[in-house]
Structure 1
């Protein structure tokens, strides 16, 4: 399994309602890709308080690297990715992606 981890530093002027709307759009892709196992999204509630401004994010689990690639190539993902960049602090600089192979 591949765990795709995305952390986002949204601009201060982006409301929680707008962030929820963006995450709702993200979840609409769940039933459209066979290699996508599921998506979890939200705001950090960490007691460690080490987010360094990355207060929102999501995790998408894929069956394999081909599933992740299908997601990355999907037009709805690309459109949403552009919106996330538009709403992040300093564009792409405000988004951190990390792909982790996970043994299950």
Structure 2
């Protein structure tokens, strides 16, 4: 297997608090997606809701994935004032959160 050149994925699994309305969740997701327009090291963003039939989600309902060119880019993103402000708002609506950063590996057959 070969490591993808410099690319780093930042994955956040979330379970929103029961009192967070669907409208608020939609607003928060739009705010998260807009970070890619405001923070240069963030190159791409995608998200989705759990649809697994295996029932191994441990209560997590949403997944958010951001792409960066390097681990230094993630560090810049995490410290960026726009991210800090958004994260303080976003995390206040979560019951559970898990964050993993990884370098994708490409399988060569």
Structure with higher strand content? 2
Bigger helix fraction: 1
Both proteins in one fold, TM over 0.5: yes
CA-atom RMSD in angstroms: 1.5
Return 5+ residue gaps in structure 2 as ranges.
1-6
Q: For 2:24, which of 18, 23, 33 is the aligned residue? A: 18
Q: TM-score, normalised by structure 1?
A: 0.85
* Superposed structure 1 runs of 4+ greater than 6 Å apart: none
**Which of structures 1 and 2 has the bigger CA Rg?**
2
- For residues 84-99 of structure 1, the aligned pairs below 5 Å read 84-89=90-95, 94-99=96-101
Deviation per CA, 1:27-84, whole angstroms, max 9, x where unpaired? 1111233322201123211222211111012000101112111211111211121122
Q: How many residues align?
A: 100
**Structure-1 separation of matches of 2:40 and 2:17:** 33
- 2:10 match: secondary structure: strand
Normalised by the length of structure 2, the TM-score is: 0.82
